[in-house]
C-alpha cells in the first residue's frame, strides 16, 4: 500500500475535508504492535454519524454522537514518537484481484512511477487516512480521495508532503 504523508501542521484540516466530502466506511484503532497490538475499535461506519473533534493534545473520535476514543497526537514521553504524522494511503488492486504492493508513495528503485495519479498503476479501491503513535488509527473511505503536493520534506529534493485536493 503506498502512502503519502500529510503536511504535519495541516492534518486536522485534511481529516475534516475528507469527512465533509467523503463518507467513511470503517474505523480501526489498535495498540502499536510493540505495545501489544490489542484492537481497541474496529467498526463499520456505514449509516452511522462519525466525527472527529480537535482538542489540545489530540482528537476525540465520535460515533453516533458519543465520544468513543481520545487519540493523543502529542509526543509521548514514554516512547518519544511524534503522533502528529498522518498519511493518505491508497489500496489498489489488479484486475485479477491481486493487491498492488507498493514500497512507498515516493520515488524508489523498485517501482518508478509518476505519482499517485500515474495511469500505469491499478485503480484505487480504498483511501485510508492513517496515523500511529502509541495507537494505530485508520479511517477507510471507498474510492480515491485526490491529493496534491503541499511542500518538500526538509532536506529532500524529490519527497513531498501532500494534502487533499478538494
What does the mean pLDDT of the chain come to?
Answer: 86
Average pLDDT over residues 141-147: 96
Pairing of strands 66-72, 86-92: unpaired
- How many domains does the chain fold into? 1
Confidence band of 105 (pLDDT split at 50, 70, 90): low
Cβ-based neighbours of 128, under 8 Å, separated by 6 or more: 1, 88, 89, 90, 91, 138, 139, 140, 141
Over residues 63-84, the pLDDT tens digits come to: 999 999 999 876 545 544 444 5
Residue 79: how many other CB atoms lie within 10 Å? 12
Domain encompassing residue 55: 2-164
Of the CA atoms within 13 Å of residue 98, those in its CB half-sphere come to 6
Angle 141-142-147 from CA coordinates, rounded to 5°:
65
Instruction: Kindly report the pTM of this predicted structure.
Output: 0.88
Cα–Cα distance between 160 and 141 in angstroms, integer? 23
Over residues 13-33, the pLDDT tens digits come to: 999 999 999 999 999 999 988
pLDDT for the residue 106: 55
Confidence band of 56 (pLDDT split at 50, 70, 90): confident
Cβ-based neighbours of 131, under 8 Å, separated by 6 or more: 11, 71, 73, 83, 85, 86, 87, 137
Average pLDDT over residues 113-125: 83
Confidence band of 109 (pLDDT split at 50, 70, 90): low
pLDDT for the residue 94: 87
Amino acid at each position: 500500500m503506498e502512502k503519502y504523508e500529510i503536511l504535519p501542521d495541516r492534518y486536522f484540516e485534511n481529516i475534516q475535508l475528507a469527512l465533509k466530502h467523503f463518507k467513511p466506511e470503517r474505523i480501526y484503532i489498535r495498540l502499536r504492535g510493540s505495545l501489544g497490538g490489542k484492537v481497541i475499535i474496529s467498526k463499520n461506519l456505514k449509516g452511522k454519524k462519525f466525527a472527529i473533534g480537535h482538542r489540545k493534545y489530540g482528537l476525540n473520535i465520535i460515533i453516533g454522537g458519543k465520544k468513543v476514543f481520545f487519540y493523543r497526537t502529542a509526543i509521548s514521553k514514554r516512547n518519544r514518537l511524534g503522533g502528529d504524522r498522518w498519511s493518505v494511503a491508497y489500496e489498489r488492486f489488479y484486475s485479477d484481484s491481486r493487491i498492488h504492493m507498493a514500497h512507498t508513495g515516493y520515488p524508489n528503485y523498485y517501482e518508478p512511477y509518476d505519482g499517485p495519479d500515474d495511469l500505469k498503476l491499478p485503480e484505487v479501491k480504498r483511501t485510508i487516512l492513517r496515523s500511529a503513535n502509541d495507537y494505530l488509527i485508520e479511517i477507510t473511505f471507498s474510492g480515491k480521495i485526490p491529493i496534491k503536493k503541499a511542500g518538500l520534506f526538509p532536506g529532500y529534493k524529490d519527497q513531498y508532503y501532500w494534502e487533499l485536493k478538494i
